[in-house]
Amino acid sequence: GGFSGIENLVGGTSTDTFTLSGGGTLTGSITGGLGTDTLTGDNVANTWTVTTANAGTLTGTGGFSGIENLVGGTSTDTFTLSSTLTGSITGGLGTDTLVGANGANTWTVTAADAGTVTGTGGFSGIENLTGGTSTDTFTGSGGSITGALTDAAGTSTLNSTLTVGSASLTGAVILGSNTAITTSGGGSIVFGSTVNGAGNTLGLTAGTGSITFTGAVGGGGALGAITINSAFNVGAAAIT
């Protein structure tokens, strides 16, 4: 019929599913034990941080370990990777964000708000993707992101067709192949530093959004071509 006065929860040797709901909190920790285990956050604004392999912190708990799969609630969930997760990250309802680790990350968007990233078994139901402070490679593979694609530091390498709500790439950008970025709902595209192409082409479609090139384009590796299909306005520094 339930439990009370229990600070720590420990799973068995098979699969365990832990769900936080109704504003319930746990002062102690959640330990998955053996098996493949899942932790679902409450329907509140949650902050998740994976700090060591299959372990970390979550709003409303003293932390978790031995948990392979993370599932967000119906509100906003922010998942930050500082280590690895053998299973998957599912955002659930709400507008959710996945922040990559501060190492070399490879992101592939394979379905609507879903795909793969280094250090996890994949993600789904994630509207916003944010790179870490090192190098991040973003590749479109038939999928799309309804929210923001952000890389606030480090170098971003772009490949194929990326369909996103908006794009803000603060560090240097390298085109790893012919690349197209399309935003939805009037989202803007911002390049905060240099853009180099090694002969690859760049196509941009922002609709009613703006396109901004803050740094030099092509100075460290000429682009094959730049095609701007639509934008409310375009701002550019030097284009070679």
Find where tokens 């192949």 sit: 177
pLDDT per residue as tens digits for the range 41-74? 999 999 999 999 999 999 999 999 999 999 999 9
Contacts of range 90-95, beta carbons closer than 8 Å, 24 or more positions apart: 90/123, 90/124, 90/125, 91/123, 91/124, 91/125, 91/126, 91/127, 92/40, 92/41, 92/125, 93/125, 95/127, 95/128, 95/147
Q: Quick one: what percent of the chain has pLDDT higher than 70?
A: 100
Q: Are 15 and 35 in contact (CB under 8 A)?
A: yes
The predicted model scores a pTM of 0.97
- pLDDT of 79 strictly over 90: yes
- Report the pLDDT value the prediction gives residue 111, as an integer from 0 to 100: 98
Give strand pairing partners of 174. 157, 196
Q: Quick one: what percent of the chain has pLDDT higher than 90?
A: 97
pLDDT per residue as tens digits for the range 101-117? 999 999 999 999 999 99
- Report the pLDDT value the prediction gives residue 240, as an integer from 0 to 100: 77
For the beta carbon of residue 104, count every other beta carbon within 10 angstroms: 14
Distance spanning both ends of the chain, measured CA to CA: 70
HEC profile for 151-209?
Answer: ECCCCEEEEEEEEECEEEECCCEEEEEEEEEEECCCCCEEECCCEECCCCEEEEECCCC
- Report the pLDDT value the prediction gives residue 237, as an integer from 0 to 100: 85
Taking the C-alpha atoms of residue 111 and residue 144, their distance in angstroms, rounded to an integer, is 6
- Report the pLDDT value the prediction gives residue 119, as an integer from 0 to 100: 97
With 0-12 / 13-18 / 19 or more C-beta atoms within 10 angstroms meaning exposed / middle / buried, residue 12 is: exposed
Q: Are 191 and 173 in contact (CB under 8 A)?
A: yes
Tokens representing residue 178 in the block: 């012919």
pLDDT class for 1, splitting at 50, 70, 90? confident
Taking the C-alpha atoms of residue 26 and residue 7, their distance in angstroms, rounded to an integer, is 6
- Report the pLDDT value the prediction gives residue 238, as an integer from 0 to 100: 81
